[in-house]
Amino acid sequence: MNPLDRKLLRDLWRIKGQAAAIGAVIAVGVLLLVMMTGLVRSLDETRQAYYERYRLAEVFAPVTRAPENVIGDLPAIPGVAATEGRVAGYALVDLDSVDLPIQARIVSLPDFEAPRLNDIFLIAGRRLDPANRDEILLLKSFADAHDIRPGDALRVTIRGAQRAFSVVGLVQAPEFLYVTAPGELAPDDERYAVIWMSRATAGAAFDMEGAFNEALLSLTRDAREPAVLEAVDRILEPYGGLGAYGREDHLSDRYVSEEINGLRATSAIIPPLFLAVAAFLLYIVISRMVQAEREQIGLMKAFGYTDLEVGAHYFKLILFIAVSGAILGCLAGIAAGRAMVVLYLQFYKFPFLLFELRSSSFVLGILVSVCAASAGGLLVLRRVFALTPAVAMRPPAPADYSRTGGVVRKLTRILDQPGRMVVRRVTRQPALMGGAVLGIGAGMALAAAMTSVMSGFDRTIDVNFNVIDRSDLTVSFTDPKSDKTILELQRLPGVIEVEPVRNVSAVLRNGLRTHRGAVEGRIATPRLNRAVTSEMDAIDMREEGVILSTSLADKLQIRPGETLTVEVREGRQPVLELPVFGTTESLLGSPAYMQIDALNRALREPDRVSGAALRIDSARSDEIYRTLKDMPAVASVSLKDETRESLQELMDSGAGAMRYVMAGIAFVITFGIVYNSARIAQAERERDLASLRVLGFTKGEAAFVLLGELAVVMFVALPVGALLGYALSFGIAAGFSSDLYQIPATFGRSDFGTAVLAVLAASVASGWLVKRDVDRLELVSALKARE
């Protein structure tokens, strides 16, 4: 081992605390990078493999009722590889243990062969026997939620007729990775079922013998999807085609894609922040080390070491810290990724999900960390190359403190001697103090931004369920009913208030930008389910146009005063040209509102409702639930409290859970920055502190000179961190937002207070560690060191 390498080991041991803190910052950045890229790859590749193995359709074409022979016309469309027709619809499941009706999706399977498209994955039991029309298959997650096993009986109501079926198998399917009832955003395994039955059974139940109401298509590699969709709509239009759509608009795939895209966006923003902080810390540590070792650098060059060899010595120090932190981050990233996979496997209905990483992920993590560290270190190494032996071995020119003399003289009148020493240090080295302020401010900003995002998640739920939605439950009907149905609901004992709604499936279009969703009809002055402004003031519905959520308006790039094209996908399927007269703050989904009477007139279906929001007497809730369960017109009942719990679980899972991970990491980073600042100040002033002890200062007074400087820097960093955190919270909140929910960038006093407490806690812990070393300082050794 050559002398420079032995010096490298001694230097690493001497700054082991600072090196460990910087390495931890690098490890955190690499951990997030490895974990997120691994999760993106695992989710994306597992999804694609699942889709391909079970042949998930690429085009879905719902239709009112089409003869079976029409399915034979679809393969002639250029780009279509395979087709299949099936019967699908909605039903109700009646369980004795549940007071409310449970909505179910019915899907048919071919009688005598495996489906060409949208096959199923059998988990338990067996497949259907075509000779027995009373057998069904059940989605495993729903069966597990209610402890249903193969062989159990299940009562199902289809089009008003109840029938008992035998569950013969539990299955999963690629088209039901994300399972939620129509009109709801958050999945709840207890309140929504998926049932597969034979084609003959489903055809008889839905009056579809010899017909189908949904066509499935797969495409060739060179297919042009827009042209295929147009051709399919043209063929199915005479039979009540409801508009074909691609896989990206399928609810399940859409939300899985949102999750993957959110992880991908987060991995591109968050890890670089940590690595940038690490580069900044390395710059400070190495620059001050070079400044302190000027004479040693001069001696090394005088003894014949070249500029390259001396520079490589310090660069090795940088590489050792960076590579060690990166390796630790890779290992921790694997462990964190495997833990997150367990959450995703519980939330999304994958039959399997393994956390897999390519070697390129490790190479990328190490390479990025080394590049970030090198960026901070190379700026310092320029000074090493610039130093000649003669210049390096001379003490640096004394600094000019004349400009700060007036300030110091004024403060000396009210400060004692240790206080004056702190002020001189702070005022005479503004650049160094400014760097420390920025470092601590950056750590505080990250902590403040993450606590702000957590507050934003909570605000999303609070605003939606306490300000926007003030109902107790929502009732959906099997199909649009006369508004007299609302009178029947109002007459139920215990019902306090009823507010009708009309939801119409539609494609909203502005030029080339489209959104597949719904137009929601509301009364002129809603009370139970409102549209609100950014100030949370209620917005009244108007007859002449629509109100769009801000997220939907941004997606369609449309503003108030412009015209929106609404292609209705039910009934007569009119195409409406409606002006946009306002926007509303909606933190869940992307709704479009319209006055219910105006919507019915546009559809030429007066006095129709598709559901209602109810406010009820909680003392009579059980009686109301039983009554609603027996009403044939009711398709589903959604309780606000249960929906809130489901959404909270959704936000605490998957990418939502990542906010807790990064919040904890942000606090660790804050400690690392504060600790490094304290250690650097201690290393620079070790001789001064020993001199003070020799002159008669107590251990506490000597420590005050050092820790007082840290306290000043910390308090100056607080407003800086608050400003940086406020700006950073917008970017992080945007990264967590999706079509499912929008996270507002809130930065309140509690967020600022939490970040301040983190900085104070980090400062106290760092101060205690530094004071302990100051108390143990060897005076003779410290005084022998030359300036």
Question: Does residue 458 share a domain with residue 584?
Answer: no
Strands 575-584 and 546-549: parallel
CA–CA distance, 437 with 279 (Å, rounded to integer): 16
What mean pLDDT, rounded, does the chain reach?
81
Residue 635 maps to a domain: no
Q: What mean pLDDT is predicted for residues 290-313?
A: 76
DSSP three-state, residue 654: helix
In the three-class reduction of DSSP (H, G, I as helix; E, B as strand; rest coil), residue 614 is classed as: strand
Mean pLDDT to the nearest integer, 658-662 = 61
What confidence score (pLDDT) does residue 595 get?
92
Whether residue 685 contacts residue 706, with contact meaning beta carbons closer than 8 Å, is answered with: yes
Query: What are 551-572's pLDDT values in tens digits?
Result: 888 888 899 889 999 988 887 8
Structurally, the chain folds into a number of domains equal to: 4
- CB count in 10 Å sphere of residue 645: 14
Q: Are residues 261 and 388 in the same domain?
A: yes
Q: List pLDDT tens digits, range 328-360.
A: 888 888 888 888 887 788 778 888 887 777 777
Judged by DSSP in three states, 133 sits in coil
Confidence band of 257 (pLDDT split at 50, 70, 90)? confident
In this prediction, residue 140 carries a pLDDT of 93
- Which tokens in the block code for residue 163? 């029938």
pLDDT for 694 beyond 60 = yes
Whether 696 is covered by a domain: the verdict is yes
User: pLDDT band at residue 282, thresholds of 50, 70 and 90?
Assistant: low
Q: Annotate 664-733 with DSSP letters as a single string.
A: HHHHHHHHHHHHHHHHHHHHHTHHHHHHHHHTT--HHHHHHHHHHHHHHHHHHHHHHHHHHHHHHHHHHH
In the predicted model, is pLDDT for residue 391 greater than 70?
A: no
If asked whether residues 110 and 205 sit together in one domain, one would say yes
Q: What is the pLDDT of residue 299?
A: 76
Q: Is residue 475 part of a domain?
A: no
Beta bridge partners, 547, equal 582, 593
Structural domain contains residue 40: yes
- Are both 71 and 35 inside the same structural domain? no
Higher pLDDT, 152 or 544: 152
Q: What type of residue sits at position 289? A: M
**437 and 512 in one domain?**
no
> Are 77 and 62 contained in the same domain?
yes
pLDDT at 91 over 80: yes
Portion of the chain with pLDDT greater than 70, in percent: 84
For residues 171 and 125, membership in a common domain is answered with: yes
pLDDT digits (tens, 9 = 90+) for 715-772: 888 888 888 888 888 777 776 676 666 777 777 777 778 778 877 887 788 778 777 8
Q: What percent of the chain has pLDDT over 90?
A: 22
CA dihedral 571, 575, 577, 578 (to 10 degrees): 20
DSSP result, 541-564: --TT-EEEEHHHHHHHT--TTSEE
User: Which neighbouring-strand residues pair with 125?
Assistant: 169
Secondary structure in 3-state letters for 295-347: HHHHHHHHCCCCHHHHHHHHHHHHHHHHHHHHHHHHHHHHHHHHHHHHHHHHH
- Based on the domain organization, do 50 and 60 belong to the same domain? no
Strand order in the sheet with 59-67: 80-86, 211-219, 59-67, 245-246
The answer to whether residue 484 is domain-embedded is no
Tens digits of per-residue pLDDT, 9-40? Answer: 888 887 777 778 778 778 877 888 888 888 88
**Same domain, yes or no: 551 and 649:** no
Domain end: 191, 225, 251, which one? 251
**Residues spanned by the domain of 546:** 495-616
The answer to whether residues 356 and 440 belong to one domain is no
Is 405 inside any structural domain?
no
